[in-house]
Amino acid sequence: MNIPTNLKYTKTDEWFDPLSGKMGLSDYAQSQLSDIVFVEILVEVGDAIEAGKAIASVESVKAAAEAYASASGKVTAVNEGLANTPEILNKDPYGKGWMVQIEGGDAFDLMDAAAYQKYCEERAH
């Protein structure tokens, strides 16, 4: 399980990079979903989003899930590439698999890498 230490995490398995303002699904999330076949970003550049609001709809071969905003702010970019190559979300969830970028977000309520690791381990049982 890959959990980069420079990122913050939500209880719903999203990550947030306070430096870049980017967010996406964690490695744990993508492995739970398994082979992802469709990603639809639900927000547009310019939208004001609140933490917890759905930002993307994800479908895999056997499951469907929503990705929620890990922080609040204004959307400055969305990853258009995900529509064409949804499998990027499986291969590189923290890099090319980013979903939405915001400005003005903060990471007060989020878990750090260690706390998130513990959280993932608890759920494995």
Partner 1 sequence: MTDSSTLRQAQGDASLNAKIVEPTLFDLSSPGRVGVSFPDPDVPRAELPESLLRADLPLPELAEVDVVRHYMRLSQFNYSVDGGFYPLGSCTMKYNPKINEDTCRLPGFTATHPLQPIETVQGNLALMFTLQEWLKEISGFAAVTLQPAAGAHGELTGVLIMRAYHKARRDAKRVKMLIPDAAHGTNPASSAMSGLQVMQIPSDARGNVDLAALRSACDETVVGLMLTNPNTLGLFDEHIEEVVKIVHDCGGLMYGDGANLNALLGILRPADVGFDVMHFNLHKTFAVPHGGGGPGSGPVGVAAHLADFLPAPIVGIVEEGSDEEPPLFGFITPAKTIGRVKAFHGQFGALVRAFTYIAMHGPDGLREIAEYAVLNANYLLARLRKTYHVPYDRICMHEFVAEGKVEGSDVRALDIAKRLMDYDFHPPTNYFPHIVHEALMIEPTETENKDTLDRFADALIKIAEEAKAQPELLHDAPTKTPFGRMDEVKAARELVLCCWLPENYSDQ
Partner 2 sequence: MNYIPISPKEREAMLAAIGVKSTEELFRDVPKKHRFPKLDLPPALTEMEAAAELEELAASNENLRGDLVSFLGAGAYNHYIPSVVDHILRRGEFYTAYTPYQPEISQGTLQAIFEYQSLMCALTGMEVSNASHYDGATAVAEAVSMAYAQFRGKRTKVVISPAVHPQYRETLRTYAQGMGLQLTGDDPSDVLISNLDSLISLIDANTALVIVQYPDFFGRIYDYTSLIEAAHAQGTLVCVAANPTALALLKTPGEMGADIVVGEGQPLGIPLAYGGPYLGFFTTRKQYIHKMAGRLVGETIDNRGQRAYVLTLTAREQHIKRERATSNICSNQGLMALAAAVYLSLVGKRGLRQVAELCYQRAHYAADQLGKIKGYGLQFPAPFFHEFVLRCPQPAAEINEHLLEHGILGGYDLGQDYPALNNHLLIAVTEMNSKEEIDALVEVLSEVEHD
Positions that interact with partner 1 (CB under 8 A) = 35, 37, 61-62, 87
Question: How many CA atoms are closer than 13 Å to the CA of 62, on its beta-carbon side?
Answer: 6
Query: What are the Cα distances from residue 105, in Å, to 34, 49, 121?
Result: 29, 10, 28
Residue closer to partner 1 by CB (options 73, 93) is 93
What's the start-to-end Cα distance of the chain, in Å?
Answer: 15
Number of residues that bind partner 2 (CB under 8 A): 12
* CA 95/CA 88 separation, integer angstroms: 9
123 interacts with, out of partner 1, partner 2, none, CB within 5 to 8 A per kind:
none
Rounded least distance, CB 61 to partner 1, Å: 5
| HEC profile of 9-30 | ECCCCEEECCCCCEEEECHHHH
Rounded least distance, CB 64 to partner 2, Å: 4
Q: Which of 47, 59, 92, 112 binds partner 2 (CB under 8 A)?
A: 59
Q: Which of 1, 20, 45, 66 binds partner 2 (CB under 8 A)?
A: 66
DSSP β-bridge partners for residue 68: 54
Residue closer to partner 1 by CB (options 54, 114) is 54
- What residues line the site for partner 2 (CB under 8 A)? 37-38, 40, 42, 57, 59-64, 66
